[in-house]
Structure 1
């Protein structure tokens, strides 16, 4: 490829899939080339993401209600306030590397000039700088990850404030709500759940809210070296894909994998000596507090500590809106967090405030950790780099060419009062409830060369006995246990075996829950499901029948007025507002013989009723029931998008939330969303190769042949080869996906 403004001695070539191969003499220049290609192929994506992270999306993109809502959300938490200072904490080499990357983005931006979406809305682009990199990093940490924990805590608050039975709710979340005063919480104001439209904006952000990663040692592999597999899960049906694949080579080393546009990091990948994959730990780094607030005689708002009152700090945020007058949002905050709402509207009383450890100094060192991973010489060094990463909370799985494997948890976790989970709010006026520093990194989970010969992680509850509790929500372990089940039976493992496991469709949830339900089911339903193989294959009608039977059971048992309520339960257990935390908690209740959830009702009769209702629905296959469309992030979904071919035909989505291939379709306010593997990566440390696919391609342009170049591979479970030495394939490029024009 030739570029008019390329100012470094580097070479950039595309392979048949459009993946850029960047060759440079130094890592600095390779990162410059990566920045150049991010601007070349994903300029709209990185500029719009920066606008959202800085709380200026409505001002610079469009004055839409959902963008105004996300602007207020990010500005209230203060995501924009601390970025300039964070660069000063970086080591000199990291500062230099980020500067080179930003120079590449800016040169690429000048060469590109602009994009169609930018032209359509009159978007004016400012230069890319280290603060921009930190914004994108914080989107990964907060907008994409901590928000999921935050929304689960809001669900718990809403269930309590809706008047659900206290004993039943404590049973639903055992050991997690003992510290919560239900009476005080029910008086607190400020539960502002994000709207579906605003959550859809956040769905566009880089997230690892669900993922799989595992590694087998050489004693289990056919090659005699470790094989590492990783597949982060996020929204997959809106193009361009969130990740951007690249191959960088410099001074005898290389990096292959999925990069994050706007940042010089490789989220999942490998170098000559080390490979890594990550999953979201779902660690709890956010807390709600209950503040007792009053308005003093002089007009200032105050908060109470024991019997004393103190003035809130006041911060005014000017929220712009394109083509409309700006509005000022007042934020009241103190050392324990920021109030969720302005108390001026409702007067004295209890209010909720929010705290996040990511607002503490040195949170930006996460960028340094990702860059330092490129220089790790072995698994031990890689684990140490991961341990020092302050955010987001992840489980890193690593392997090296010497045959070592390991796992390291990371994150900055608040040290809470003994016995407090963090899932429910506590009174801020009692100083014993305040955070007491953070959990030392040496107390975070670590595994090195286990005797069993493999390590797997898939968003399971990672809390360890006699250790700080890092996870507060109830988490399903079905995917993790299925991976372990397969690996325990494995020997002479190959790349192909790991690729097959990444597409595994067996649901351990169905295998464990169906025997509980089936004895009470109508005979017709029993006949249909008793020989089912528990696979959520697109051709399966049994998968749909089970899902309906299971959904109806949850509605019957948990949807009564003294429970979660019928409407809220319907929202939380279906594709409208699916909550894996609620699903996991309900599954544990279903396994009981006695429970407060059916103490005055007949469990078997409710299950039978659920089965009868499931039989009334039309029989369809899982592929018909769980289908989706690819659409464009910027133009899809509307009349213009359909007219210009931005929306694809309907595709079946295999799998469900409980299968290794987590194929999940959600129906939100105005469109469908998906949650599925956004990148498949497998590498054998005996070679320099990686095998990958993704639901998309390198380019964000609908009219590029590289817009959907990997989609056929992703749909069919096929993989392409990435190698540090650029090779032209003797075969034809992948078959063009529907509605992608020929070059």
Structure 2
């Protein structure tokens, strides 16, 4: 395939800030040199538009709910448009802009000016051919993208889990079994009332979002290590955010920023100012999603377009959305809103419905004000303060040049009345279920200079580190425990060991299962070659492991065998596997059932019998294959989505993925609606505060242009687990 020549400079067409200079290093990463922070952001915006014009426009079109108007008018895209119109992430944009500090507003506007200059400079692009001349980028668009990245498939996962609880209850699953899967301890709920709640068909099944350009965020790892445990004697920070990696371009955009006031390098997201993870001279910081419950639902009693509040009836606010369509009649949709969020249903029809609210939905100013400060923080405590102000839910780990390490959770975490954790739906007519404010960052989990000399986050339960307990549905702790194991030994840590941890494929989950399965294999399958393979398996999901592939076959059969009875039909079980996040994000909830021999799920058959039957079924259908042969995917363009023949070079060939759901190097592949979805480290970064550089690797490249030499330039290095060096 034809590729444009490599260039070390980025040509700026038209007016630009004085003394602004844009260059590229040997990896294509833009280095932006300017006189001020605002001028740096102008240059960052220009580079984003130059390298990611298609991605910027595509994400904005999605967020605005205008796919049918500007790109492809299909019924699936109409449903995607309806979803984004429902979320209405441009709401109160003028109010948010008015709450921005003057310096933040200037900083945001500088990014917009740079993006618009970049749009004008990049005259030829596929997106321009499909949707026409790009509209000017505005601060409202920044707010839109800022909110999208904080909700989609992150807070959304919590909302889906809470709805799933209702769906299972309405399908007749017993309270006892529901309690084994969800955080219901101490929660009171009216089963009969929840049975009456009308759940309209989902506007958009999850697999449709996955088919769009939405980057599906998943798990992530980050950690910090004090100098007492490192070879250099300085603190180390490492981070590898996990999300859907089989899309080009990568969701992250890498840059180096230099002006007289500061230098910083790392990753931001196209359409958002500044850097979200990375390092300055003084501080390094990384982020993972925290799985705090920032989404709640309430049961609303409705009739005649009104909802009950105490003994009175109040009108909903009506919002009418007009979706323009290229090929069909325009679609008009009405949404009903009250202080509990957006109603899922039509209140003209009497009945009980759900309203749902995400806590940062109407906010954004404080987060942008804080984001501007991230690169200016001089030490770990300042970074704790700034990161804690961000309204979406993240785990921030921090290291500074003075050898301090820290952790801070961020997010608008609601205060609820005692007795209600927010997972089961509240009663909309009862004021005791209203939020009473938000926890201060100082009340959320946070740590400064932990006694053990390191701190790890991997989406696990971290409530013990705060006075508030905002997490009620954490992910499994296998990755966190494995990283803790590797950091706890006497070996001094360095950049190489950080890389080794990020690439580690040992599964503590498999270890737990094999402790039960191994005696069964020895007792009942002692002459079976496949049993020998599992017994000899080192619990690593590496490329050439047959044991990993066989264990996954067993695990799949066990899940289907146990989690399917008179209450969970085969159809419902398939729905849970293919159209919900439950098996993907919260597999440990099932593990707790399967690994407990006294679990309620083993009433018909014993745990011993279920494990034996699952292995029998797995071995009968198992074709000898390595994990690298089975766990494979292609990098595909987010706009063209695999529709162009491979020889054009728009997509990659198939590549193997190491790791599994429970390994530090996560390597999950799922197929939904005929499309593969992959979850792995989207980028890897590591910083030793004794150095002035950042060690990084991107799954993809800098550019979204298939003809650019920087389109897939880092894929091989990402597969190999090597770092490149990012220097000022």
On whether the aligned pair clears a TM of 0.5, the verdict is yes
- Which residue of structure 2 lines up, in the alignment, with residue 412 of structure 1? 412
- In structure 2, what is the equivalent of residue 483 of structure 1? 483
Q: Deviation at 1:20?
A: 0.7
Structure 1 residue 354: Cα displacement? 0.9
- C-alpha separation in 1, matches of 2:649 and 2:21: 34
What's the TM-score, normalizing by structure 1? 0.92
Q: 1:688 offset after TM fit, Å? A: 0.5
**Corresponding residue of 2:440:** 440
Q: Distance in 1 between matches of 2:36 and 2:354?
A: 50
Which residue in the other structure is 2:354 paired with? 352
Give, in whole Å, the separation in 1 of the partners of 2:222 and 2:249.
Answer: 24
Q: What does the per-residue CA deviation read over 1:194-218, in whole Å, with 9 as the maximum and x for residues that have no partner? A: 324422156x335643111101111
Q: CA deviation at 1:641?
A: 4.5
* C-alpha contact (below 8 Å) 1:539/1:623 kept by paired residues: yes
Match of 2:389 in 1: 388
Q: Check if 1:536 corresponds to 2:535.
A: no
1:27 match: 37
Aligned length: 711
Asked whether 1:652 is paired with 2:656, we answer: yes
C-alpha separation in 2, matches of 1:666 and 1:422:
29
Residues 285 and 594 (structure 1 numbering): CA distance in 2 closer, same or farther, change over 3 Å? same
Q: Which residue of 1 aligns with 2:378?
A: 377
1:114–1:143 distance in 2 versus 1, CA, 3 Å: farther
CA distance in structure 2 between the aligned counterparts of 1:278 and 1:322, rounded to whole angstroms: 40
Q: Does 1:282 align with 2:326?
A: no
Match of 2:637 among 632, 635, 647: 632
Q: Encode CA deviations 1:523-543: one digit per residue, 9 max, x unaligned.
A: 135432222111001111111
Cα separation, 2, equivalents of 1:386 and 1:228: 16
Among 666, 671, 687, the alignment partner of 2:670 is 666
1:553 corresponds to which of 550, 558, 582: 558
1:46 corresponding residue in structure 2: 56
Sort the Cα spacing of 1:576 and 1:644 in 2 relative to 1 into closer, same or farther, 3 A: farther
CA 1:696 to 1:466, structure 2 compared with 1: closer, same or farther past 3 Å? Answer: closer
Q: CA–CA distance in 2 between the matches of 1:96 and 1:71?
A: 31
The answer to whether 1:4 aligns with 2:6 is: no
Secondary structure of the residue that 2:16 maps to in structure 1? coil
1:741 is aligned to none
CA contact (8 A) 2:40 2:257 kept: yes
Deviation of 1:175 (Å): 3.4
Distance 1:289 1:577 in 2: 21
Q: Is contact 1:209–1:282 with CA below 8 Å preserved after alignment?
A: no
- State how far apart, in whole Å, the 2-side matches of 1:531 and 1:13 are: 52
Contact 1:196 1:668 in 2 (8 A): no
Q: Which moved more, 1:545-554 or 1:173-182?
A: 173-182
How many angstroms does 1:48 deviate by?
1.3
Q: How far off its partner does 1:465 sit?
A: 8.1
1:586-665 correspondence runs (5 A): 586-617=590-621, 618-638=623-643, 640-642=644-646, 644-665=648-669
435-444 or 243-252, larger mean C-alpha shift: 435-444
Equivalent residue, structure 2, for 1:148: 157
C-alpha displacement of 1:468: 2.9
DSSP 3-state at the match of 2:239: strand
Q: What are the ranges of 5 or more consecutive residues in structure 2 without an aligned counterpart?
A: 1-8
Residue 722 of structure 1 is matched in structure 2 by: 726
Is residue 273–residue 378 contact of structure 1 (8 Å, CA) maintained in 2? yes
Contact preservation (8 Å) 1:46, 1:262: yes
**Cα distance change of structure 1 residues 19 and 176 upon mapping to structure 2, 3 Å threshold:** farther
**Which range moves more in the overlay, 51-60 or 268-277?**
51-60
Structure-2 residue corresponding to 1:738 = none
Distance (Å, rounded) in 2 between the aligned partners of 1:604 and 1:323: 58
Shift of 1:582: 4.0
Determine if contact 1:578/1:666 at 8 Å carries over to the other structure. Answer: no
d(CA) in 1 for partners of 2:694, 2:246: 24
Match of 1:291 among 292, 300, 313: 300
Q: 1:376 to 1:577 in 2, by over 3 A?
A: closer
TM-score (norm 2): 0.94
Shift of 1:252: 5.1
**CA drift at 1:58:** 2.4
The 5-angstrom pairing of residues 69-148 of structure 1 reads: 69-119=79-129, 121-148=130-157
What is the aligned counterpart of 2:710 among 686, 702, 706?
Answer: 706
Q: Give runs of aligned pairs for residues 563-582 of structure 1, distance below 5 A.
A: 564-573=568-577, 579-582=583-586
Aligned equivalents of 1:433, 1:576: Cα separation in 2: 27
Distance, in Å, in 2 between the alignment partners of 1:663 and 1:628 is 11
Whether the 8 Å CA contact 1:630–1:648 is kept in 2: the answer is yes
The 3-state SS of whatever aligns with 2:177 is helix
* 8 A Cα contact 2:445 2:467, kept in partner: no
1:232 paired with 2:241, answer yes
Change (3 A) 1:332 1:196: closer
* Pair 667,503 (structure 1): closer, same or farther in 2 beyond 3 Å: same
**Partner Cα separation in structure 2 for residue 648 and residue 576 of structure 1:** 28
TM-fit CA distance, 1:630: 1.3
Q: 2:208: which partner in 1?
A: 198
Query: CA 1:456 to 1:474, structure 2 compared with 1: closer, same or farther past 3 Å?
Result: closer
Contact 1:55–1:80 under 8 Å retained in 2: no
Q: Report which stretch shifted further, 63-72 or 478-487.
A: 63-72
Q: CA deviation at 1:482?
A: 0.5
Change (3 A) 1:424 1:140: same
Q: Give distance in 2, aligned partners of 1:705 and 1:4.
A: 21
In 2, the alpha carbon distance for the partners of 1:478 and 1:565 equals 30
Question: Matched residues in 1 for 2:260 and 2:465: separation?
Answer: 45
- Aligned residue runs from structure 1 range 160-239, under 5 A: 160-176=169-185, 178-190=187-199, 192-193=201-202, 194-201=204-211, 204-206=213-215, 208-239=217-248
Per-residue CA distance 1:366-413 (angstroms, 9 max, x = gap): 1222211111111110000011111x1001001111111100001001
Task: Give the direction of change, closer, same or farther, for the CA distance of 1:575–1:221 in structure 2 (3 Å limit).
Answer: farther
